[in-house]
Protein backbone atom coordinates (compact mmCIF):
# COMPACT_ATOMS: atom_id res chain seq x y z
CA UNK A 1 0.00 0.00 0.00
CA UNK A 2 2.89 2.36 0.63
CA UNK A 3 3.63 3.02 -3.11
CA UNK A 4 -0.04 3.85 -3.71
CA UNK A 5 -0.09 6.27 -0.83
CA UNK A 6 3.06 7.94 -2.12
CA UNK A 7 1.51 8.22 -5.58
CA UNK A 8 -1.66 9.76 -4.21
CA UNK A 9 0.35 12.25 -2.17
CA UNK A 10 2.36 13.21 -5.24
CA UNK A 11 -0.77 13.66 -7.31
CA UNK A 12 -2.34 15.83 -4.63
CA UNK A 13 0.83 17.92 -4.47
CA UNK A 14 0.83 18.46 -8.25
CA UNK A 15 -2.85 19.42 -8.17
CA UNK A 16 -2.29 21.91 -5.32
CA UNK A 17 0.66 23.46 -7.14
CA UNK A 18 -1.49 23.85 -10.26
CA UNK A 19 -4.23 25.54 -8.24
CA UNK A 20 -1.70 27.82 -6.57
CA UNK A 21 -0.26 28.81 -9.97
CA UNK A 22 -3.71 29.70 -11.29
CA UNK A 23 -4.56 31.67 -8.11
CA UNK A 24 -1.29 33.62 -8.23
CA UNK A 25 -1.81 34.35 -11.90
CA UNK A 26 -5.31 35.67 -11.19
CA UNK A 27 -4.01 37.78 -8.30
CA UNK A 28 -1.24 39.21 -10.47
CA UNK A 29 -3.71 40.04 -13.23
CA UNK A 30 -6.06 41.74 -10.76
CA UNK A 31 -3.24 43.86 -9.35
CA UNK A 32 -2.14 44.87 -12.85
CA UNK A 33 -5.69 45.92 -13.72
CA UNK A 34 -6.01 47.86 -10.48
CA UNK A 35 -2.71 49.70 -11.03
CA UNK A 36 -3.71 50.65 -14.57
CA UNK A 37 -7.04 52.00 -13.35
CA UNK A 38 -5.60 54.00 -10.44
CA UNK A 39 -2.44 55.37 -12.07
CA UNK A 40 -4.03 58.13 -14.22
CA UNK A 41 -5.53 59.76 -11.11
CA UNK A 42 -2.20 60.02 -9.27
CA UNK A 43 -0.11 63.13 -9.91
CA UNK A 44 3.37 64.32 -9.12
CA UNK A 45 3.57 67.71 -7.39
CA UNK A 46 6.49 70.13 -7.53
CA UNK A 47 6.53 73.07 -5.13
CA UNK A 48 8.94 75.98 -4.94
CA UNK A 49 9.10 78.35 -2.00
CA UNK A 50 11.30 79.78 0.69
CA UNK A 51 12.38 78.43 4.06
CA UNK A 52 14.92 79.32 6.74
CA UNK A 53 18.48 78.80 5.53
CA UNK A 54 18.96 75.58 7.47
CA UNK A 55 15.84 74.04 5.86
CA UNK A 56 16.47 74.82 2.21
CA UNK A 57 19.18 75.31 -0.36
CA UNK A 58 21.33 78.32 0.49
CA UNK A 59 23.92 79.89 -1.78
CA UNK A 60 24.52 82.77 0.59
CA UNK A 61 25.55 81.93 4.14
CA UNK A 62 24.29 85.29 5.35
CA UNK A 63 20.82 84.92 3.87
CA UNK A 64 17.87 84.54 6.22
CA UNK A 65 15.72 82.73 3.68
CA UNK A 66 16.67 80.29 0.95
CA UNK A 67 14.88 78.71 -1.94
CA UNK A 68 13.32 75.34 -1.22
CA UNK A 69 12.18 72.83 -3.81
CA UNK A 70 10.23 69.72 -2.95
CA UNK A 71 8.25 67.02 -4.69
CA UNK A 72 5.37 64.88 -3.56
CA UNK A 73 2.23 63.20 -4.76
CA UNK A 74 -1.48 63.87 -4.95
CA UNK A 75 -4.74 62.24 -6.00
CA UNK A 76 -7.37 63.75 -8.31
CA UNK A 77 -10.79 63.71 -6.65
CA UNK A 78 -12.84 65.79 -9.10
CA UNK A 79 -13.06 65.89 -12.88
CA UNK A 80 -12.48 69.64 -12.84
CA UNK A 81 -9.05 69.41 -11.24
CA UNK A 82 -9.35 69.33 -7.44
CA UNK A 83 -6.40 67.41 -5.99
CA UNK A 84 -5.86 66.21 -2.42
CA UNK A 85 -2.32 66.04 -1.05
CA UNK A 86 -0.36 66.65 2.16
CA UNK A 87 0.06 70.14 3.55
CA UNK A 88 3.79 69.60 3.98
CA UNK A 89 4.11 68.96 0.23
CA UNK A 90 2.96 72.51 -0.59
CA UNK A 91 3.88 74.28 2.67
CA UNK A 92 5.34 77.77 2.05
CA UNK A 93 5.04 77.23 -1.71
CA UNK A 94 5.09 80.27 -3.97
CA UNK A 95 4.72 78.12 -7.06
CA UNK A 96 2.96 74.75 -7.35
CA UNK A 97 3.16 72.58 -10.47
CA UNK A 98 1.39 69.30 -11.19
CA UNK A 99 2.53 66.61 -13.59
CA UNK A 100 -0.39 64.75 -15.15
CA UNK A 101 -0.10 61.20 -16.44
CA UNK A 102 -0.64 60.96 -20.19
CA UNK A 103 -3.68 58.69 -19.62
CA UNK A 104 -5.39 61.77 -18.22
CA UNK A 105 -4.80 63.47 -21.56
CA UNK A 106 -6.38 60.81 -23.77
CA UNK A 107 -3.31 58.57 -23.67
CA UNK A 108 -1.93 59.98 -26.90
CA UNK A 109 0.14 62.87 -25.59
CA UNK A 110 3.16 63.00 -23.29
CA UNK A 111 2.82 63.76 -19.61
CA UNK A 112 2.18 67.45 -19.04
CA UNK A 113 3.07 69.89 -16.26
CA UNK A 114 0.46 72.49 -15.33
CA UNK A 115 0.32 75.24 -12.74
CA UNK A 116 -1.84 74.72 -9.66
CA UNK A 117 -3.26 77.06 -7.06
CA UNK A 118 -3.73 76.37 -3.38
CA UNK A 119 -7.39 76.10 -2.34
CA UNK A 120 -6.80 75.58 1.39
CA UNK A 121 -5.07 73.50 4.02
CA UNK A 122 -5.78 71.52 7.18
CA UNK A 123 -2.59 71.90 9.19
CA UNK A 124 -3.68 69.62 12.02
CA UNK A 125 -4.35 66.69 9.68
CA UNK A 126 -1.49 67.67 7.31
CA UNK A 127 -3.80 67.87 4.30
CA UNK A 128 -4.14 70.38 1.47
CA UNK A 129 -6.33 70.84 -1.58
CA UNK A 130 -4.91 72.32 -4.78
CA UNK A 131 -6.58 72.92 -8.13
CA UNK A 132 -5.50 72.82 -11.74
CA UNK A 133 -7.32 74.34 -14.71
CA UNK A 134 -8.39 71.10 -16.40
CA UNK A 135 -11.67 69.25 -16.96
CA UNK A 136 -12.67 65.69 -17.78
CA UNK A 137 -9.96 64.18 -15.61
CA UNK A 138 -9.88 60.60 -14.35
CA UNK A 139 -10.69 60.53 -10.64
CA UNK A 140 -10.67 58.21 -7.65
CA UNK A 141 -13.33 57.93 -4.95
CA UNK A 142 -12.73 58.14 -1.22
CA UNK A 143 -13.58 54.89 0.54
CA UNK A 144 -14.79 54.21 4.08
CA UNK A 145 -11.72 53.83 6.29
CA UNK A 146 -13.88 52.66 9.21
CA UNK A 147 -14.34 49.36 7.35
CA UNK A 148 -10.61 48.62 7.08
CA UNK A 149 -9.40 45.42 8.69
CA UNK A 150 -5.98 44.40 9.89
CA UNK A 151 -4.27 42.26 7.26
CA UNK A 152 -6.33 43.73 4.39
CA UNK A 153 -4.44 44.06 1.10
CA UNK A 154 -3.65 47.64 0.00
CA UNK A 155 -1.50 49.40 -2.58
CA UNK A 156 0.38 52.70 -2.18
CA UNK A 157 0.74 54.96 -5.23
CA UNK A 158 3.02 57.95 -5.63
CA UNK A 159 6.43 59.22 -6.64
CA UNK A 160 8.93 57.95 -4.05
CA UNK A 161 12.30 59.72 -4.24
CA UNK A 162 11.03 61.37 -7.42
CA UNK A 163 10.50 58.04 -9.20
CA UNK A 164 7.30 58.89 -11.01
CA UNK A 165 4.29 56.58 -11.09
CA UNK A 166 5.47 53.96 -8.58
CA UNK A 167 3.24 51.44 -6.81
CA UNK A 168 3.91 49.18 -3.83
CA UNK A 169 1.81 46.56 -2.12
CA UNK A 170 1.27 45.54 1.48
CA UNK A 171 -1.32 45.04 4.16
CA UNK A 172 -3.04 47.13 6.80
CA UNK A 173 -0.85 46.83 9.89
CA UNK A 174 -3.19 48.83 12.14
CA UNK A 175 -6.50 50.49 11.39
CA UNK A 176 -6.24 53.29 14.00
CA UNK A 177 -2.74 54.03 15.23
CA UNK A 178 -2.51 56.93 17.69
CA UNK A 179 1.05 58.23 17.97
CA UNK A 180 0.61 60.75 20.80
CA UNK A 181 -1.68 60.30 23.77
CA UNK A 182 -2.85 63.92 23.68
CA UNK A 183 -3.32 63.99 19.89
CA UNK A 184 -6.79 63.14 18.55
CA UNK A 185 -5.29 62.19 15.18
CA UNK A 186 -5.12 58.50 14.35
CA UNK A 187 -3.53 56.98 11.27
CA UNK A 188 -3.83 53.91 9.10
CA UNK A 189 -0.57 51.99 9.47
CA UNK A 190 0.67 49.90 6.55
CA UNK A 191 3.73 47.89 5.60
CA UNK A 192 3.36 48.85 1.92
CA UNK A 193 6.75 50.53 1.25
CA UNK A 194 6.46 54.32 1.45
CA UNK A 195 9.38 56.70 0.92
CA UNK A 196 9.89 60.48 0.67
CA UNK A 197 7.94 61.63 -2.39
CA UNK A 198 5.04 59.28 -1.66
CA UNK A 199 3.54 61.96 0.61
CA UNK A 200 0.08 62.93 -0.57
CA UNK A 201 -0.39 59.85 -2.73
CA UNK A 202 -3.32 57.49 -2.24
CA UNK A 203 -3.44 54.24 -0.30
CA UNK A 204 -6.08 52.20 -2.09
CA UNK A 205 -7.97 48.99 -1.35
CA UNK A 206 -8.57 46.10 -3.74
CA UNK A 207 -11.55 47.95 -5.24
CA UNK A 208 -9.44 51.00 -6.10
CA UNK A 209 -11.01 53.19 -3.43
CA UNK A 210 -8.81 55.67 -1.58
CA UNK A 211 -8.69 54.53 2.05
CA UNK A 212 -5.85 56.80 3.13
CA UNK A 213 -3.48 59.61 2.12
CA UNK A 214 0.15 58.52 2.55
CA UNK A 215 1.73 60.97 4.98
CA UNK A 216 4.90 59.85 6.76
CA UNK A 217 7.07 56.90 7.86
CA UNK A 218 8.98 55.74 10.89
CA UNK A 219 12.55 55.10 9.86
CA UNK A 220 16.04 54.78 11.28
CA UNK A 221 17.75 54.46 7.92
CA UNK A 222 15.96 57.29 6.10
CA UNK A 223 14.16 54.81 3.84
CA UNK A 224 11.12 52.60 4.13
CA UNK A 225 11.23 50.05 6.93
CA UNK A 226 7.67 48.86 6.53
CA UNK A 227 6.15 51.31 9.01
CA UNK A 228 4.14 53.85 7.03
CA UNK A 229 1.19 55.99 8.02
CA UNK A 230 -1.73 57.42 6.08
CA UNK A 231 -4.47 59.87 7.03
CA UNK A 232 -7.70 57.78 7.08
CA UNK A 233 -10.03 58.52 4.18
CA UNK A 234 -12.92 59.45 6.47
CA UNK A 235 -10.76 62.16 8.05
CA UNK A 236 -9.52 63.25 4.62
CA UNK A 237 -13.09 63.45 3.30
CA UNK A 238 -14.16 65.87 6.04
CA UNK A 239 -11.14 68.10 5.49
CA UNK A 240 -11.50 68.00 1.69
CA UNK A 241 -15.18 68.92 1.73
CA UNK A 242 -14.69 71.80 4.18
CA UNK A 243 -11.71 73.19 2.26
CA UNK A 244 -13.59 73.06 -1.05
CA UNK A 245 -16.61 74.76 0.55
CA UNK A 246 -14.96 77.32 2.86
CA UNK A 247 -11.25 77.37 2.01
CA UNK A 248 -10.31 76.16 5.49
CA UNK A 249 -11.24 73.59 8.14
CA UNK A 250 -13.03 74.02 11.44
CA UNK A 251 -12.85 71.47 14.26
CA UNK A 252 -15.97 70.65 16.20
CA UNK A 253 -17.04 69.52 19.64
CA UNK A 254 -20.27 68.47 21.34
CA UNK A 255 -19.55 69.72 24.85
CA UNK A 256 -18.60 66.65 26.84
CA UNK A 257 -15.50 65.40 28.62
CA UNK A 258 -15.25 61.70 27.84
CA UNK A 259 -13.32 59.27 30.02
CA UNK A 260 -12.49 55.61 29.47
CA UNK A 261 -14.15 53.29 31.99
CA UNK A 262 -11.59 51.22 33.89
CA UNK A 263 -12.21 48.35 36.33
CA UNK A 264 -11.38 50.74 39.19
CA UNK A 265 -13.92 53.32 37.97
CA UNK A 266 -16.51 50.62 37.42
CA UNK A 267 -16.05 49.28 40.94
CA UNK A 268 -16.06 52.66 42.66
CA UNK A 269 -19.06 53.98 40.73
CA UNK A 270 -20.91 50.65 40.74
CA UNK A 271 -21.13 50.66 36.95
CA UNK A 272 -22.62 47.70 35.10
CA UNK A 273 -19.50 47.35 32.90
CA UNK A 274 -15.75 47.82 33.32
CA UNK A 275 -15.10 49.04 29.77
CA UNK A 276 -16.45 51.73 27.44
CA UNK A 277 -16.90 55.48 27.84
CA UNK A 278 -18.46 57.62 30.54
CA UNK A 279 -19.32 61.32 30.42
CA UNK A 280 -17.14 62.72 33.19
CA UNK A 281 -18.43 66.23 32.51
CA UNK A 282 -21.01 67.96 30.36
CA UNK A 283 -20.29 71.60 29.51
CA UNK A 284 -23.05 73.86 30.92
CA UNK A 285 -25.24 75.24 28.11
CA UNK A 286 -23.23 73.24 25.57
CA UNK A 287 -24.82 71.09 22.85
CA UNK A 288 -24.78 67.89 24.90
CA UNK A 289 -26.20 69.68 27.96
CA UNK A 290 -29.02 71.22 25.94
CA UNK A 291 -29.77 67.84 24.38
CA UNK A 292 -30.12 66.27 27.82
CA UNK A 293 -26.87 64.39 28.50
CA UNK A 294 -25.73 64.27 32.11
CA UNK A 295 -22.42 63.54 33.83
CA UNK A 296 -22.26 59.85 34.63
CA UNK A 297 -24.05 58.74 31.46
CA UNK A 298 -22.39 55.72 29.84
CA UNK A 299 -21.98 56.51 26.14
CA UNK A 300 -22.89 53.39 24.20
CA UNK A 301 -22.73 54.63 20.60
CA UNK A 302 -21.87 57.83 18.76
CA UNK A 303 -22.74 58.29 15.08
CA UNK A 304 -23.69 54.62 14.94
CA UNK A 305 -20.32 53.38 16.23
CA UNK A 306 -20.05 51.42 19.47
CA UNK A 307 -17.76 53.26 21.87
CA UNK A 308 -14.86 51.26 23.32
CA UNK A 309 -12.79 54.06 24.89
CA UNK A 310 -12.57 57.85 25.16
CA UNK A 311 -9.92 58.10 22.46
CA UNK A 312 -12.26 56.54 19.92
CA UNK A 313 -15.02 58.99 20.81
CA UNK A 314 -12.71 62.00 20.58
CA UNK A 315 -11.40 60.83 17.21
CA UNK A 316 -14.92 60.39 15.85
CA UNK A 317 -16.05 63.85 17.01
CA UNK A 318 -12.81 65.28 15.55
CA UNK A 319 -13.89 64.04 12.12
CA UNK A 320 -17.34 65.64 12.16
CA UNK A 321 -18.15 68.79 10.22
CA UNK A 322 -19.76 71.78 11.91
CA UNK A 323 -22.99 71.09 10.03
CA UNK A 324 -23.25 67.59 11.47
CA UNK A 325 -25.78 66.36 14.00
CA UNK A 326 -24.58 63.18 15.69
CA UNK A 327 -26.82 60.56 17.24
CA UNK A 328 -25.66 59.47 20.70
CA UNK A 329 -27.08 56.59 22.70
CA UNK A 330 -26.35 56.34 26.40
CA UNK A 331 -27.17 54.13 29.34
CA UNK A 332 -28.44 55.98 32.43
CA UNK A 333 -29.27 53.89 35.50
CA UNK A 334 -29.59 50.90 33.21
CA UNK A 335 -32.05 52.60 30.86
CA UNK A 336 -31.21 53.32 27.19
CA UNK A 337 -31.61 56.92 25.99
CA UNK A 338 -30.98 58.49 22.61
CA UNK A 339 -29.98 62.08 21.79
CA UNK A 340 -29.29 64.08 18.64
CA UNK A 341 -26.50 66.56 19.31
CA UNK A 342 -25.29 69.32 16.94
CA UNK A 343 -21.54 69.73 16.46
CA UNK A 344 -20.32 73.24 17.27
CA UNK A 345 -17.01 74.97 16.72
CA UNK A 346 -14.19 74.10 19.06
CA UNK A 347 -13.34 77.04 21.30
CA UNK A 348 -9.61 76.88 20.62
CA UNK A 349 -9.83 76.36 16.85
CA UNK A 350 -7.34 78.88 15.38
CA UNK A 351 -9.25 78.88 12.08
CA UNK A 352 -12.48 80.14 13.67
CA UNK A 353 -11.71 83.75 12.70
CA UNK A 354 -11.22 83.04 8.99
CA UNK A 355 -14.91 83.45 8.14
CA UNK A 356 -14.94 86.95 9.61
CA UNK A 357 -12.50 88.57 7.21
CA UNK A 358 -12.73 90.24 3.84
CA UNK A 359 -9.42 89.91 1.93
CA UNK A 360 -9.77 93.42 0.50
CA UNK A 361 -10.47 95.14 3.82
CA UNK A 362 -8.50 92.98 6.24
CA UNK A 363 -5.24 92.38 4.39
CA UNK A 364 -2.07 93.67 6.07
CA UNK A 365 0.17 93.28 3.06
CA UNK A 366 3.58 93.94 4.66
CA UNK A 367 2.95 91.26 7.29
CA UNK A 368 1.18 88.90 4.90
CA UNK A 369 -1.80 88.44 7.24
CA UNK A 370 -5.55 88.92 7.34
CA UNK A 371 -6.43 90.81 10.52
CA UNK A 372 -9.53 91.69 12.55
CA UNK A 373 -10.00 94.45 15.11
CA UNK A 374 -11.06 93.38 18.61
CA UNK A 375 -14.84 93.62 19.05
CA UNK A 376 -17.21 92.57 21.82
CA UNK A 377 -17.84 89.33 19.94
CA UNK A 378 -14.14 88.58 19.63
CA UNK A 379 -13.62 89.42 23.31
CA UNK A 380 -16.11 86.69 24.18
CA UNK A 381 -14.20 84.25 22.00
CA UNK A 382 -10.88 85.28 23.58
CA UNK A 383 -11.67 85.60 27.29
CA UNK A 384 -8.04 85.99 28.43
CA UNK A 385 -7.30 89.21 26.54
CA UNK A 386 -4.95 91.60 28.34
CA UNK A 387 -6.47 94.72 26.70
CA UNK A 388 -9.81 95.74 25.23
CA UNK A 389 -8.14 96.64 21.93
CA UNK A 390 -5.82 94.85 19.51
CA UNK A 391 -5.59 93.15 16.15
CA UNK A 392 -6.34 89.44 15.82
CA UNK A 393 -4.47 87.41 13.18
CA UNK A 394 -7.22 85.57 11.30
CA UNK A 395 -5.03 83.96 8.67
CA UNK A 396 -1.60 84.31 7.12
CA UNK A 397 -0.12 83.85 3.69
CA UNK A 398 2.25 80.95 3.12
CA UNK A 399 4.98 83.37 1.99
CA UNK A 400 4.33 85.95 4.72
CA UNK A 401 7.40 87.78 6.07
CA UNK A 402 5.65 87.47 9.41
CA UNK A 403 5.42 83.71 9.12
CA UNK A 404 6.13 83.50 12.85
CA UNK A 405 2.66 84.93 13.44
CA UNK A 406 -0.10 82.37 13.91
CA UNK A 407 -3.89 82.50 13.52
CA UNK A 408 -5.30 83.54 16.88
CA UNK A 409 -2.37 85.78 17.83
CA UNK A 410 -3.40 89.23 19.12
CA UNK A 411 -1.15 92.19 18.22
CA UNK A 412 -1.22 94.93 20.87
CA UNK A 413 1.72 97.09 19.78
CA UNK A 414 4.07 97.66 16.89
CA UNK A 415 7.32 99.44 17.77
CA UNK A 416 5.70 100.60 21.04
CA UNK A 417 2.67 102.12 19.25
CA UNK A 418 -0.67 100.64 20.36
CA UNK A 419 -2.51 98.86 17.52
CA UNK A 420 -5.98 100.18 18.33
CA UNK A 421 -7.14 99.68 14.74
CA UNK A 422 -6.10 98.18 11.43
CA UNK A 423 -5.51 101.72 10.16
CA UNK A 424 -3.11 102.39 13.05
CA UNK A 425 -1.20 99.18 12.32
CA UNK A 426 -0.92 100.04 8.63
CA UNK A 427 0.22 103.58 9.42
CA UNK A 428 3.16 102.37 11.50
CA UNK A 429 4.07 99.73 8.92
CA UNK A 430 4.04 102.38 6.18
CA UNK A 431 6.53 104.44 8.18
CA UNK A 432 9.05 101.59 8.44
CA UNK A 433 11.57 101.51 5.62
CA UNK A 434 12.47 98.30 3.75
CA UNK A 435 15.15 96.40 5.62
CA UNK A 436 14.14 97.84 8.98
CA UNK A 437 12.60 95.81 11.78
CA UNK A 438 9.09 95.85 13.19
CA UNK A 439 8.75 94.59 16.77
CA UNK A 440 5.27 93.37 17.64
CA UNK A 441 3.98 92.83 21.17
CA UNK A 442 1.72 89.82 20.79
CA UNK A 443 -0.49 87.69 22.98
CA UNK A 444 -0.49 84.00 22.08
CA UNK A 445 -2.75 81.94 24.28
CA UNK A 446 -2.41 83.40 27.77
CA UNK A 447 1.15 84.70 27.34
CA UNK A 448 2.68 87.87 25.91
CA UNK A 449 5.77 87.87 23.71
CA UNK A 450 7.79 90.15 21.43
CA UNK A 451 8.13 89.15 17.78
CA UNK A 452 10.68 90.88 15.53
CA UNK A 453 10.08 90.90 11.79
CA UNK A 454 12.46 92.24 9.14
CA UNK A 455 10.31 94.02 6.58
CA UNK A 456 10.99 94.03 2.87
Instruction: Tell me if residue 126 is catalytic.
Output: yes
Same domain, 242 and 256: no
Same domain, 334 and 361: no
The CATH number given to whatever domain includes residue 211 is 2.40.10.10
Q: Which of 315, 345, 375 is the last residue of a domain?
A: 345
**Active-site choice (47, 88, 248, 409):** 88
Residue 10 falls inside a structural domain: no
Alpha carbons within 13 A on the beta-carbon side of 299: 38
Q: What is the pLDDT of residue 289?
A: 95
Residue 14 falls inside a structural domain: no
Residue 126 falls inside a structural domain: yes
The CATH number given to whatever domain includes residue 320 is 2.30.42.10
331-355 burial, b for 16+ CB within 10 Å, e for fewer? Answer: beeeeeeebebbbeebeebbbbbbe
Low-confidence ranges of the chain (pLDDT < 70): 1-22, 50-67, 103-111, 180-184, 219-224, 347-352, 354-356, 359-360, 397-403
Q: What is the pLDDT of residue 106?
A: 54
Same domain, 75 and 160: no
Residue 163 falls inside a structural domain: yes
**Active-site choice (173, 199, 224, 239):** 199
Same domain, 100 and 175: no
Instruction: Tell me if residue 88 is catalytic.
Output: yes
Determine the structural domain holding residue 396 and report its residue range. 351-454
Q: Let me know: does 83 contact 74? Beta carbons within 8 Å.
A: yes
Residue 11 falls inside a structural domain: no
Q: Let me know: does 7 contact 36? Beta carbons within 8 Å.
A: no
Same domain, 363 and 409: yes
**Active-site choice (41, 70, 122, 126):** 126
Q: Which of 192, 220, 246 is the last residue of a domain?
A: 246
Same domain, 449 and 355: yes
Same domain, 356 and 450: yes
Same domain, 165 and 198: yes
Q: In angstroms, rounded to a whole number, what is the distance separating the alpha carbons of residues 45 and 85? A: 9
Same domain, 106 and 175: no
Same domain, 82 and 99: yes
Q: What is the pLDDT of residue 430?
A: 92
Q: What is the pLDDT of residue 226?
A: 75
Same domain, 107 and 183: no
Residue 365 falls inside a structural domain: yes
Q: Which of 224, 246, 268 is the last residue of a domain?
A: 246
| CA dihedral of residues 146, 147, 150, 153 (deg, nearest 10) | -120
What is the domain count for the chain?
A: 4
Q: What is the pLDDT of residue 65?
A: 46
Amino acid sequence: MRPILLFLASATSVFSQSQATVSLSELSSSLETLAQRVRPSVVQIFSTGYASAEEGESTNAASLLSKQRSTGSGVILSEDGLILTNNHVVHNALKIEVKLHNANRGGRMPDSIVLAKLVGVDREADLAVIKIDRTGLATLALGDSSKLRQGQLVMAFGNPLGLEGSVTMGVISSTARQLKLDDPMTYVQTDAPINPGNSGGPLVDAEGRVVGINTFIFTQSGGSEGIGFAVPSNMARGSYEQIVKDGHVHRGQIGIVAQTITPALAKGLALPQDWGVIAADVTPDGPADKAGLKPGDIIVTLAGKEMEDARQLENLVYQQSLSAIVDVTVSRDGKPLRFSIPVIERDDDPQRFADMVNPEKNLIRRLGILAIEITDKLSEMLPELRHDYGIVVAARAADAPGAVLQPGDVIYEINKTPTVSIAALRAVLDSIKPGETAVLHVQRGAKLRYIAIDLE
